[in-house]
Amino acid sequence: MDNQLEQLEHRIITMEENLKHAPTHEDISSVRAEIAGIKANLQQNTYMLQRVHDHLMQKH
């Protein structure tokens, strides 16, 4: 029984150590917000690039 408790304690300590490095909900929300901002900027750039392309195509 003591051996089982020691093994269980070791497993719990190992899990706690691993979870210390896991991202929090706050971390994940922050990353999602940053990705949304990048996506919005990329959409704006794509729109502007399309307008430049259309303008150049109309010249020829």
4-57 per-position pLDDT tens digit: 999 999 999 999 999 999 999 999 999 999 999 999 999 999 999 999 999 999
Quick check: pTM over 0.75?
no
Q: Would you say residue 59 has pLDDT above 90? A: no
Q: What is the pLDDT of residue 57?
A: 93
Q: What is the pLDDT of residue 8?
A: 95
Q: What is the pLDDT of residue 60?
A: 67
Q: What is the pLDDT of residue 54?
A: 95
Question: What Rg do the C-alpha atoms of the chain give, in angstroms?
Answer: 26
Domain residue ranges of the chain, discontinuous segments joined by +: 24-60
The pair of three-digit structure tokens given for residue 28, joined into one six-digit string = 């994940």
- The residue with tokens 């990048």 is 38
Taken in order 52, 54, 58, 60, is the CA torsion positive or negative? Answer: positive
